[in-house]
Amino acid sequence: MGTALARGLTSHGHKVTLVESDEARRESLAADELSAAAGSVPCRAAIIAVLPKDADIAISDAVAAGAERVISIVAGIPLSRLHAAAGSGVPVIRAMPNIATLVQKSAIAICAGQLAHETDLALAEEILSSVGTVVRVS
């Protein structure tokens, strides 16, 4: 899902830097014309697209590297856990795209965490609308 999202974002002019710790996976992404760094990079919004077991460390690493907000597409992780991993003061948005992201026709539900404001939601909508329709849910 993360790779499909990255392809959609780059095709719509968004600057995307993927962070992938596995060297073989970085090489595979490069073959798909997606560049991946070995470590975290500062950004306005970190999109977390990892296995649930890796979510906490990915979020805390992204925030430590300067991510201003976190958008998580990790399945099954409640907002309370996302907030705990991000730490105090970091807005979190939970997003659930569907498989149609692969063809940039996804339906994506987003839900704001307690610290997320209208500007955070608007940025999430701007980013995620590159791969489909975004709907806010409570």
| Rounded alpha-carbon distances, angstroms, from residue 6 to 42, 47, 70 | 17, 10, 16
C-alpha atoms less than 13 angstroms from C-alpha of 115 in its C-beta half-sphere: 16
Residue 95: give the domain boundaries.
2-136
| 26 CB-near residues (< 8 Å, 6+ apart) | 20, 36, 38
The domain total for the chain is: 1
| pTM, 2 dp | 0.86
Residue 116, pLDDT score: 96
Domain CATH for 29: 3.40.50.720
Q: What is the pLDDT of residues 78-111, one digit of tens each?
A: 999 999 999 989 999 999 998 888 788 889 999 9
